[in-house]
Chain A
Amino acid sequence: MSAQSISSGYLVQQVAQQDREAFSQLYDRCSSLVFSLAMRMLRVRSDAEDLLQEVFVQIWRQASNYSAERGTPEAWIVNIARSRAIDKLRSIRRMEQSFVLTDDPARAESSDNVETAAAESEAKMAMSSALVNLPEAQRRVLELAYFDGLTQTEIAARLKEPLGTVKTRMRSGIQRLREIMKMQAA
């Protein structure tokens, strides 16, 4: 049986039995997914590497908590990664709020940081993405929530839009993603 023919669900089951080979295969399969998400959210390679390590150590320790009834392994792993990344982002924001800032904290990096430049160019890559199918206003609120870890209230404040408008855009955007997924599955 080739590595690719083994389901991720089976690999997670084996990892729960402390099977290192399965863990290695699961890492090979999902590490770029986690790392790309971490780079998008945290924007600094060293932080993204730390997050990647934390996520896979958690997978190793808590694989037995995974249940196929709760979604695909990829969604489970991404959920772990997002939760940890959001915790980090919110912790950084809390700390930064204790200072008087004259600039956007998210930009508090060196201007020659190629990783930041790459992250900021992502909009250009959206031509092949599901996001391109979303109206700009919907895409914006989804990105702020999903990748930047902002809550609905924070997004409303950031965009200076009524909370109800933000909620509507979020739900409309998600419904559109659902439709896209169903079309792709059909």
Chain B
Amino acid sequence: MATGHEQWLEQGDIYALGALDGQELKDFEAHLASGCAVCEAYIRETRESLLLLHRAITPFEPSAAMKTRVFDQIADGKRVVPITEAKLRKSRIWLRMSGTIAAGILGVVITATYYHYRYEPRHSVYSAVIDLLRDPNTRDVALYGAGPTPAALGRFLWNKSGEGHLFVTNLPAAPEGKMYAVWTIAQESSPRYVASIRTDAKGLGGVHINAAPSDKPIQTFAVTLEPVGTTAAPTGPMVLVSKQT
């Protein structure tokens, strides 16, 4: 390698790894932009070397359906849609093609709704949940336990209209003076309070949500344990959270 490049090459290693940051990253990117062929070649070689790291990871095979999903998205006459829209398309196809499965899930949801909401007017809850499930704009998002409640689980039906329904299990009842607050988080936005949710002695709970629609797609759903009345911003520990969607 050319002399005088040692400093750049040292940074090139870390740049290729994706770990360079701060002013060093800015300086190195400016150096690359100047057209340094030596550094470009060095980074290329480093990236090839880093492929060795793949030998340390557990191999996973994607399902056969994934290939169909990819080809569906690039199919003739179809625009390439953002992944969130692709999910909705998949959901529509799924609903059309898997009537039996859908009916089964619907039955489970209705049954769960019965137990979760036996103190509410049943017909209205049924209707609302069924309408959500029928709507191709409804997303079905899994929530996972976090912080003090790792065993908790949730399922969030969310429609871009702002209507949604959250089911939770294994979430202990909130202590006296506390409540579980439900938040939605859109891209580059602060968490928005949309509801509170109560759970019974068995850790079961649910809530139907009618919030204002969001200008941006919701990326994350979360539930936190808050002092009663907290709605401006989350302050307490997260007990349920979705992965970014």
Contact = CB atoms under 8 A, between A and B. Distances in A.
B40 to A, nearest CB: 8
Contact of B144 (A50, A78, A109, A131): A109
A178 B1 CA distance: 14
A167 B66 CA distance: 39
A7 interface: no
B129 interface: no
Interface string A1-19: 0000000000000000000
Contacts of A105: 146, 241
Contacts of A181: 48-49, 52
Contact of B62 (A32, A79, A154, A170): A32
A106 to B, nearest CB: 10
B86 A151 contact: no
Q: How large is the interface on B (under 10, 10 to 19, 20 to 34, 35 or more residues)?
A: 35 or more
B14 A167 contact: yes
Interface in B103-119: none
Contacts of A131: 52-53, 55-56
B57 A122 contact: yes
B146 A82 contact: no
Interface string B8-52: 001001101111111000000000000000001000111111111
Interface in B51-107: 51-63, 66-67, 69-71, 73-74, 80, 83, 86-87
A142 interface: yes
A33 B54 CA distance: 8
B151 interface: yes
A36 interface: yes
A31 B48 contact: no
Given A71-B48, A74-B51, A98-B190, A145 B17 contact: yes
Contacts of A39: 57-58, 60
A152 B73 CA distance: 37
Interface residues of A, number: 86
A176 to B, nearest CB: 9
Contact of A53 (B20, B83, B235): B83
A44 B243 CA distance: 8
Interface stretch (B120-128, B159-167, B205-213, B217-225): B217-225
A178 B74 contact: no
A146 B18 contact: yes
B60 A32 contact: yes
Contact of B44 (A20, A47, A70, A86): A70
Contacts of B66: 31, 35, 49, 52-53
B171 interface: no
Interface string A70-91: 1110110011001100101001
Contacts of A42: 243
Given A101-B147, A108-B238, A170 B244 contact: no
A165 interface: no
A48 B60 contact: yes
A46 B151 CA distance: 20
Interface of B: 10, 13-14, 16-22, 40, 44-63, 66-67, 69-71, 73-74, 80, 83, 86-87, 142, 144-148, 150-151, 153, 185, 190-191, 219-220, 222, 224, 234-238, 241, 243-244
Given A33-B54, A96-B238, 11 more contacts: A24-B71, A32-B60, A52-B66, A57-B80, A92-B243, A95-B185, A99-B238, A126-B56, A129-B52, A129-B56, A153-B22
